[in-house]
C-alpha cells in the first residue's frame, strides 16, 4: 500500500482547525484499522444534516430529552441554584441548543442570575445558537466558547468564583470510550469545586432494533451525515473521495452497548489529498471507523459517577426509560 504521509509539508490553509483536522486525518487514515474522529462530522453541512437527524422519528433521543426537560426541567432548575445566587451554566457540545432552550426559559422565568457558556467545536452552530438566543431570549448573558471539550475544561477553573452547573446533554458522553468518559468526568470534577453540579444526558440500553434504526434510518439521513465526512475532506483537504464508492454501515453490540459506525470502501482505490500531499489506499471493503455511540445502564452510570468523585442526586427519565438526564454533585 502506497502512502505519502508528510506532516512536515506545510498545510496550504492556515486556519488552526484545518491544520488540526489535517493532522488528525493523516494520523487516523495511516493506521490499521483506519479511523477519523467523530468530532469532524460537524462542519456547516454536517450541522445541517444533524438537525435533520434530530427531527427524524427514529432518532428518539431528541424527543425523549425534550420531554424530560418540559416535564421535569423546573425541578432540575430549582436544584441548579439557591434563591438569589449567581452561577455559571456551562454546556459542552451545545449544538443548536434546541433542548437546552427549554431549561434556559425555565431559569429565566425563575429570575435566575446566570451566564450561559455554550462550548462547541463548530463555529457555525455556535454562531447560529448565539444569534437565535439574542432573538429568542434577549437580555440573557451568553459567552460562547468555540473550543474542543478538553481545551474548554480549563475555562472551568477561571469561572470558579461562582457555582458551576455543567451540562453535557444528548448522547455526547456516548462518543467517548469508557476510559475517555472517566477521564473527561474526572477532569470536570477536578476543575470544579465541591457542590458544583453536572447534568449528564445518556442514552440507555434498550431493544437493539430501536437503537439500530436511530443510526441507520430508512430515509438515508444518517448515511448522508456519515458520508459528509468524506465530502468535508474533499472540501477542506483537497481530497478526491468518490462518495459513491463508500457505504455507511452501523451495528449495535448489546454487550458493550456500542453502536459502531463505519464508511466501507466498495472497491480497491487510492484517494489523493492535494492540500496535504498525501495518498491513502483502500483495499476493497476496507473501512474507516467514524463513530462510537455508547449506550449505558443506570448502574454503569452510577459506577462512573462514584469512580470520578460525583454523588448521584437524581435520575430524570422519560416515560419509556429510553434516555436519562442524571444530576450529579461534585463531592
Ligand X SMILES: C[S@@+](CC[C@H](N)C(=O)[O-])C[C@H]1O[C@@H](n2cnc3c(N)ncnc32)[C@H](O)[C@@H]1O
**DSSP one-letter code for 205:** P
Q: Is 324 in the site for ligand X (CB under 6 A)?
A: no
Binding window for ligand X (CB under 6 A); candidates: 77-85, 91-99, 261-269, 281-289: 91-99
SS3 call for 45:
helix
- DSSP at 156: H
CB 168 within 8 A of CB 327: no
Residues numbered 7-66 forming contacts with ligand X, rule: CB under 6 A: 39, 42, 50
Among 102, 141, 85, 86, CA closest to 118? 141
By beta-carbon proximity to ligand X, the closer residue of 98 and 272 is 98
Query: Least distance from C-beta 126 to ligand X, angstroms?
Result: 8
**Pick 122 or 250: Cβ nearer ligand X:** 122
Given the rule CB under 6 A, which of 2-10, 20-28, 93-101, 226-234 is the region that contacts ligand X?
A: 93-101
Residue selected from 28, 170, 174, 257 as contacting ligand X according to rule CB under 6 A? 170
CB of 207 to ligand X, least distance (A): 22
Nearest Cα to 104, choosing from 126, 139, 137, 138? 137
Residue 234 CB neighbours (<10 A): 17
195 φ, ψ to 5°? 100, -20
Task: Tell me the closest approach of the beta carbon of residue 218 to ligand X, in angstroms.
Answer: 21
Task: State the minimum distance, in angstroms, from the CB of residue 64 to ligand X.
Answer: 11
Window contacting ligand X (CB under 6 A); options: 8-16, 168-176, 205-213, 315-323 = 168-176
- C-beta of 99: minimal distance to ligand X in Å? 6
Nearer to ligand X by C-beta: 231 or 245? 231
CA–CA separation, 50 vs 53, rounded Å?
5
Q: Which three cell numbers stand for residue 239?
A: 481530497
d(C-alpha 136, C-alpha 51), whole Å:
18
Q: Which helix (H) or strand (E) holds 271?
A: strand 269-273
List binders of ligand X among 275-314 (CB under 6 A).
none
Of the residues 116, 149, 184, 262, which one makes contact with ligand X according to CB under 6 A:
149
User: Residue 169 interacts with ligand X (CB under 6 A)?
Assistant: yes
- Please identify, using beta-carbon distances, which residue of 38 and 243 lies nearer to ligand X: 38
Contact 16/123 with Cβ under 8 angstroms? no
Inter-helix orientation angle 123-136/100-109, to 10°:
30
In angstroms, the CA 62 to CA 54 distance is 6
Please select the residue that binds ligand X; options are 103, 112, 125, 202, rule is CB under 6 A: 125
| The one among 73, 95, 174, 257 contacting ligand X by CB under 6 A | 95
Beta bridge partner(s), residue 330: 310
Q: Does 73 bind ligand X (CB under 6 A)?
A: no
Q: Do 53 and 228 meet the contact criterion of CB atoms below 8 Å apart?
A: no
Q: How far is the CB of 240 from ligand X (least distance, A)?
A: 26
- Which parts of this chain interact with ligand X (CB under 6 A)? 39, 42, 50, 93-95, 99, 119-122, 125, 148-149, 169-170, 172
Amino acid at each position: 500500500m502506497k502512502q505519502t504521509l508528510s506532516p512536515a509539508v506545510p498545510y496550504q490553509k492556515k486556519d488552526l482547525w484545518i491544520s488540526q483536522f489535517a493532522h488528525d486525518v493523516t494520523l487516523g487514515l495511516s493506521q490499521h484499522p483506519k479511523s477519523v474522529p467523530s468530532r469532524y462530522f460537524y462542519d456547516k453541512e454536517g450541522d445541517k444534516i444533524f438537525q435533520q437527524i434530530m427531527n427524524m422519528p427514529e432518532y428518539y433521543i431528541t424527543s425523549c430529552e425534550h420531554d424530560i426537560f418540559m416535564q421535569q426541567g423546573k425541578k432540575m432548575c430549582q436544584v441548579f441554584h439557591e434563591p438569589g445566587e449567581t452561577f455559571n451554566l456551562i454546556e459542552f457540545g451545545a449544538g443548536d441548543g434546541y433542548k437546552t432552550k427549554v431549561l434556559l426559559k425555565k431559569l429565566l422565568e425563575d429570575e435566575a442570575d446566570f451566564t450561559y457558556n455554550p462550548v462547541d467545536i463548530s463555529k457555525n452552530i455556535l454562531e447560529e445558537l448565539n444569534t437565535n438566543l439574542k432573538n429568542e431570549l434577549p437580555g440573557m448573558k451568553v459567552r460562547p466558547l468555540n473550543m474542543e471539550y478538553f481545551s474548554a475544561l480549563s475555562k472551568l477553573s477561571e469561572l470558579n468564583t461562582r457555582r458551576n452547573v455543567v451540562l453535557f446533554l444528548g448522547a455526547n458522553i456516548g462518543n467517548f470510550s469508557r476510559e475517555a468518559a472517566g477521564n473527561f468526568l474526572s477532569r470536570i470534577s477536578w476543575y470544579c469545586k465541591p457542590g458544583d453540579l453536572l447534568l449528564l444526558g445518556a442514552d440507555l440500553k434498550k431493544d437493539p432494533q430501536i437503537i439500530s434504526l436511530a443510526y441507520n434510518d430508512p430515509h438515508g439521513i444518517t448515511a448522508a451525515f456519515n458520508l459528509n465526512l468524506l465530502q468535508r475532506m474533499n472540501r477542506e483537504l483537497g481530497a478526491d473521495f468518490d462518495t459513491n464508492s463508500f457505504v455507511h454501515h452501523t451495528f449495535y453490540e448489546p454487550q458493550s452497548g456500542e453502536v459502531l459506525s463505519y464508511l466501507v470502501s466498495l472497491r480497491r482505490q487510492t484517494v489523493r489529498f492535494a492540500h496535504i500531499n498525501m495518498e491513502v489506499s483502500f483495499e476493497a471493503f476496507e473501512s474507516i471507523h467514524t463513530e462510537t455511540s455508547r449506550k449505558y445502564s443506570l448502574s454503569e452510570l452510577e459506577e462512573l459517577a462514584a469512580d470520578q468523585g460525583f454523588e448521584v442526586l437524581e435520575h430524570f427519565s422519560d416515560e419509556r426509560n429510553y434516555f436519562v438526564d442524571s444530576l450529579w454533585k461534585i463531592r
